[in-house]
A and B are shown apart, each in its own frame.
Chain A
Amino acid sequence: MTHPYLPNTDADRAAMLQAIGVASVKELFADVPQDALYPDLKLPPAMSELDLMRELQAMAARNAHLNEHACFLGAGAYHHFIPAIVPHLVFRTEFYTAYTPYQAEISQGTLQTIFEYQSMICALTGMDAANASHYDGATAAAEAAILALNQLPERNKIVVSPTLHPEYRATIRTYLAGHDVDIVGDEDLSATLEQVMEKHLDDKTACVIVANPDFLGRVRDLKPYAERTHAAGALFVVSAYPIALGLYQPPGHYGADVVVGEGQPLGNPIAFGGPYLGIFATKEKYIRRMAGRLVGQTTDTKGRRGFVLTLQAREQHIRREKATSNICTNQALCALAACVYLATLGKTGLRRIAELCYHKAHYAARKINRLPGYRVDLRQEFFNEFVVECPRPVAEINAALREQGIIGGYDLSRDYPHLGNAMLVAVTEMNTREQIDALVRALEQSAKRKTKRRT
């Protein structure tokens, strides 16, 4: 019985066991409790490649995917255009079958791409230094909170904006569960940022974490809030949407000490939630407090430019229990996709993508706002996502949209119940005018018609 991933034949095994000096494989497991050896596992039988691929295709076909359905869901994960060269390069075997570049001399490919990623993230966010990435936007936000607590050890309060992504707020709470830290600011989800700061910002506050655009899509000039946070001696952390940074002021210019964000929109497929990458960038003075991998430029013995993992004294394999974090990887391949994406779109392309998102979203918002029963606050600045007040529960409306092949927006009733029947609609460059017009028509119809909820 052979399997293509297992090259050794029975004859090879026999020769090797003889060289080892044992009579059977079992002798190699003599130190394992013998009563527990070779359990009879309930596992499916092996499959041929042909049969397995057929089964996988059938399984994938049970999912309604975004190449065949207009999608207006965002809420932290976005369906964006990925130029063909991005997956083509990312799927090069030299990249995806390598590991962490411990041996720098034969890992220069990975190292230089990370250096370029770091450079472009700095440009995008307006910060001094970026790491090689965290797991995702949520964990990057949690690591920012930890950086602030380490920087200001006498402080034990993290203030989060009520409109920071609910899953980011939950992740920050999980990460800090073992510590004497108060995470506040989102008790009243209807509170404004002014009210939150008025209530909570004080000399115990290590940082304030705000999203821009926020979870409800709103874009603001955060400079006054950054100044107010700094006046209280705390760090100002901004969670950003990298595509929006093609258009808007970078957080580094309005006072952010740390910029985090979900990097998925930069060339990574939406992929049911992962793998993604967490953007993390900061100012010069916090570099040594930053967790995660960092690549630095140096020279070889012949004076040629080269790249290495650097400032590893912060990391777990050296510092062990004194490390800044337990993270020992990055999302290298996702960061590579982001790097290739940013290089491909470049200065003008990223701006163009951002403008397309902006124009299409505003077109959609205006048309929806004209529909009887629906309302969008058009006075509010937004990028590509906005809240629609609906005449009926969003679940019912979405069921009606789905019948017409449209995947509707995010139902806010669970996370923000005070908003009533509110739908968060995201529009990207992937949505054509026809799709938007179809959405508007379907919304109009579903305002009147009762549809059964699917179960």
Chain B
Amino acid sequence: MTIVANKLEPIIYELSASGRAGATLPECDVPETPLPQHLLRQELDLPEVSEVDVVRHFTRLSQKNYCVDLGIYPLGSCTMKYNPKINEEAVKLPGFAALHPYQDVNDVQGALQLMYELQEMLGEICGLPGVTLQPAAGAQGELTGILIIHAYHAAHGDTQRTQVLIPDSAHGTNPATSSMSGYQVVQVKSDARGNVDLDELRRLVGPQTVGLMITNPNTLGLFEEHIREVCQVVHDAGGLVYGDGANLNALVGIVRPGDLGIDILHSNLHKTFSVPHGGGGPGAGAVMVRRDLAQFLPGPIVVKKGKRYEFAIPRKSIGRVKSFYGNFLALVRAYVYLRSIGKEHLARVAEDAVINANYLLARLKGTYKAPFGERVCKHEFVLSGTPFVDKYGVRTLDIAKRIQDYGFYPPTIYFPLTVPECLMIEPTETQSKESLDEFADALLQIAEEARTQPELLKNAPHTAPVTRLDDVKAAREPVLRYKRAS
């Protein structure tokens, strides 16, 4: 971080001075028309700043951010891999960036070709040939998936099903999606090895079961050892299995979820397929389905007729989940990534992601408690900070804050909820061994500091642009917009 980054940056309104302008606009080249005075607004409280003010303000703010291009960003279940720069050049091509979504399909054949080929590649990688690119994010992909399951049961005249089964290690979006879709959520416990408890699953399924939402590898970073049995139990009860593909990066090129019994899967293209996370979005949440479920996909999807590409609405479509066709520029990036990686390197992506995670786990498990350390993990793993709480009064939050001082982004913390004082670490395949060693060295040093100087952790971070922020105050007295001091 530079010295500038640690200076308090004014709010854009505080830089405003009457009469400044940030943009030049053309003269009106047509005769003017009187404005409808009765409909006009009287004031517009936007800032007045120069172009220089805007550039410096946002550049300074950018320097207060950590980012993937600075170093490891090991948020578990977020797959913060490197974002290739050719992707960012591709989305600037006017032939992609300057297209109106309602142009005649004859005028946008290149865009449709890209979408069609991406549909084909994703279907092939997942072993699920029906694909929609419309969902804007993973959570919207989940909603799409659950609505497809709803439509599938309805098409079979099966309207009595009410319960969606969800393992206790699931992402919070899974239960939120199910209840958003009007279904009741039934939680399934994990067993001692971190798998879905098969006996409990058998007890819970029945004619009321809509389906199961399962993340594999799960949020403990563990491959579901009985995945085929799990799917079979649900199928035998007439339910469908929804795969949360947030963790697909562990499997690409190695195994296809569709070959294991998963019926529907979403993939966060901003995780596995290198679309940048953008500070929280936009992403893309493509959904892949079994061939017989393709008729329920949201439309339009792209189809190929001879050499020509067209839009089509699937026969029993659940309807659209957003306007237009999806986050097109995110799709461009995922497409470019896959064409660069190609058939040759895809499996190596997952292999290196898994090697990197296991290597970090091996380096840390003697010092940090690893609840499932006897198993190999996949692309991520969990540690528990409970010994540090018991011995030194140092919480996982304190460890995370101290990691910032070493120049790294902390892992996901306090998730999954089933592991107390959890640290969830996902390095991704785009970290070198050297960068993993640096990160491991820092975590080992921090463990030592917890023993010798616990206050150093409890007051961390010490080098960030701000010290610890008061979340309680923010929630109790919400200040959600700028107000001028009066």
Contacts and interface: CB of A to CB of B under 8 A. Distances in A.
Contacts of B474: 296-298, 308, 310
A434 to B, nearest CB: 8
B132 interface: no
Interface string A112-151: 1101101110111000111011011111000000000000
Interface residues of B, number: 199
A21 B78 CA distance: 27
B466 A109 contact: no
B38 interface: yes
Nearest to B349: A6
Given A41-B343, A96-B276, A136 B323 contact: yes
A354 to B, nearest CB: 10
Range of interface residues on chain A?
35 or more
B150 A105 contact: no
Report which residue of B91, B95, B138, B479 has the largest number of chain A beta carbons within 10 angstroms of its beta carbon: B95
A385 interface: no
Interface string B452-485: 0000000101001111111101110011111000
B110 A60 contact: yes
Interface stretch (A170-178, A186-194, A444-452): A170-178
B101 A344 contact: no
B323 A85 contact: no
B376 A27 contact: yes
B481 A118 contact: yes
29 contacts: A8-B432, A25-B351, A46-B339, A53-B89, A63-B110, A65-B94, A89-B58, A89-B59, A96-B277, A97-B83, A99-B277, A108-B465, A130-B481, A170-B320, A171-B319, A246-B44, A271-B96, A272-B111, A272-B329, A277-B282, A296-B480, A298-B474, A300-B468, A302-B466, A313-B475, A326-B142, A333-B279, A346-B47, A359-B32
What 5 pairs across the A-B complex have the smallest Cβ distances?
A: A60-B95, A46-B342, A273-B324, A178-B182, A62-B110
Q: Is the interface of B mostly helix, strand, loop or mixed?
A: loop
A329 B475 contact: no
Interface string B295-337: 0001000000000000000000011111111111110000010
Given A33-B228, A39-B255, 12 more contacts: A16-B356, A32-B223, A56-B336, A63-B99, A139-B136, A178-B180, A269-B98, A272-B329, A274-B322, A274-B325, A317-B415, A343-B46
B254 A59 contact: no
A6 B475 contact: no
B41 A249 contact: yes
Contact of B466 (A88, A100, A128, A306): A306
A316 interface: yes
A452 B328 CA distance: 31
B101 A272 contact: yes
B111 A63 contact: yes
Nearest to B335: A56
Interface in A11-50: 12-13, 15-17, 19-22, 25, 27-33, 36-39, 41-47, 49
Interface in B37-64: 38-41, 44-49, 51, 54-55, 57-59, 61-64
Contacts of A132: 280
A75 interface: yes
A250 B43 CA distance: 10
Interface stretch (A66-74, A230-238, A368-376): A66-74
